[in-house]
Amino acid sequence: MSKQRKAVALISGGLDSMLAAKVIMEQGVHVEGINFFTGFCVEGHTHAIREHNSSKPNRNNALWVAEQLGIKLHIVDVIEEYKKVLINPKHGYGTHMNPCLDCKIFMVNKAKQWIVENGFDFIITGEVIGQRPMSQTKSKMPIVSKQSGADDLLLRPMCAKNLPSTLPEIEGWVDREKLYSITGRSRKPQMEMARNFGIEDYSQPAGGCCFLTDKFYSAKLVDLWKSQGTKDYELDDIMLLKVGRHIRPKPHFKLIIAREEGEGRFLQGYKKEFISLYCSSHPGPLALIDGELSAEDIYFSARVVARYGQGRDEEQVDITVTEKDGSERVIQVKPFTKEEVPNEWHV
């Protein structure tokens, strides 16, 4: 009896990786999923923080996909290791701060380590030639295979027929004839495959699964690095970039102002790390101040925060300032007008 072969599938939560895993499962291979958490994954966070985002199911799509496929999913924390990928990508950034090619190489390399440690035979990804301009082109696919160290243990079932045979195909662990030759950005072939497999519900992330492909998020990251004078970050830094309005009136400090209740609750958790402000005479948002501030800066910030509360048209409102040690004081300020908070301050 032939040995039961085992593959690990990189599961993003999208349709392509779901189909790739399904194709290989259909060939009798034991498949388990792996998902890497870089800190920049869109999955979960935005609807976890924000109250009003009920249009999308409140679920982690990678877990959901694994459950639909009936496979285990291993979620791996790569936050620390990922820093070197983002801070100094060998192949550079994409349109924004997305180091897609380095990221793919990194993840496949991690998957390679994982299969060695766990006695698996090969790696599956949902990559499709031409699907993404930076990392999923025919010329980039061999780079990922080679530089990740996975070499011919990396199988892309969705476009395998357009690529050289890999070890699982050569050894007959999978039948190359039952693999696919999808190319390009059209989603029609994948949707047809989904229909054929009886898969009716799947996630279709419009902007990819990573905050680094987002123009506004990338701008905040660049601003963070510029203000620090160094390209580095901690997890809390990059989490806070996902939350609230970021307003930098002066180079040495920035305000993070909650846009709604869920964000306000999230920012509450950082009151020991940052000076915080809220309007105590009228309903208004919580704000954190990131930076070293003079008394004048705090007064200035209070006027900005007052602008975003319901007392914005009053002559004077009360702003409670809470220090990191929890001590509070109340100051009276005149809210800035809309014109006094110029667009250039918005990061």
Nearer to another protein, 79 or 143 (CB): 79
Query: How many CA atoms, within 13 angstroms, populate the side-chain half-sphere of residue 71?
Result: 28
Asked whether 263 and 52 are in contact (CB, 8 A), the reply is no
Nearer to another protein, 74 or 83 (CB): 74
| Total interface residues for another protein by CB under 8 A | 28
Asked whether 137 and 104 are in contact (CB, 8 A), the reply is no
The answer to whether residue 9 forms part of the interface with another protein (CB under 8 A) is no
d(CA 341, CA 85): 36
- Which of 9, 66, 141, 224 is the binder for another protein (CB under 8 A)? 66
- Which of 269, 272, 329, 342 is the binder for another protein (CB under 8 A)? 269
The answer to whether residue 271 forms part of the interface with another protein (CB under 8 A) is no
* N-to-C CA span, the chain: 62
The answer to whether residue 71 forms part of the interface with another protein (CB under 8 A) is yes
Token readout for 41 is: 């994954």
Residue type, 4: Q
Q: Identify which range of 75-83, 102-110, 248-256, 293-301 contacts another protein by CB under 8 A.
A: 75-83
The answer to whether residue 138 forms part of the interface with another protein (CB under 8 A) is no
Asked whether 257 and 279 are in contact (CB, 8 A), the reply is no
Q: Identify which range of 33-41, 90-98, 181-189, 278-286 contacts another protein by CB under 8 A.
A: 33-41
- Which of 64, 82, 211, 336 is the binder for another protein (CB under 8 A)? 64
- Give kind and range of the element (H or E) at residue 291: strand 287-291
Least distance in Å: CB of 185 to another protein?
28
Among 155, 173, 157, smallest CA distance to 108 is for 155
The answer to whether residue 63 forms part of the interface with another protein (CB under 8 A) is yes
Q: Identify which range of 60-68, 125-133, 223-231, 295-303 contacts another protein by CB under 8 A.
A: 60-68
Asked whether 233 and 83 are in contact (CB, 8 A), the reply is yes
Least distance in Å: CB of 286 to another protein?
14
The answer to whether residue 75 forms part of the interface with another protein (CB under 8 A) is yes
Nearer to another protein, 250 or 265 (CB): 265
The answer to whether residue 203 forms part of the interface with another protein (CB under 8 A) is no
Q: Which strands make up the sheet holding 6-10, listed edge to edge?
A: 73-77, 30-37, 6-10, 122-124, 154-155
- Which of 9, 62, 128, 150 is the binder for another protein (CB under 8 A)? 62
* Contacts to another protein from residues 228-247, by CB under 8 A: 239
Least distance in Å: CB of 313 to another protein?
32
Nearer to another protein, 92 or 269 (CB): 269
Q: Over 206-256, what HEC string results?
A: CCCCEHHHCHHHHHHHHHHHHHHCCCCCCHHHHHHCCCCEEEEEECCEEEE
Which letter does DSSP use for residue 277 in this model? E
- Give kind and range of the element (H or E) at residue 302: helix 295-307
Least distance in Å: CB of 59 to another protein?
5
Q: Which residues are near another protein by CB under 8 A?
A: 35, 37, 41, 43-45, 47-49, 58-60, 62-64, 66-67, 70-77, 239, 265, 269
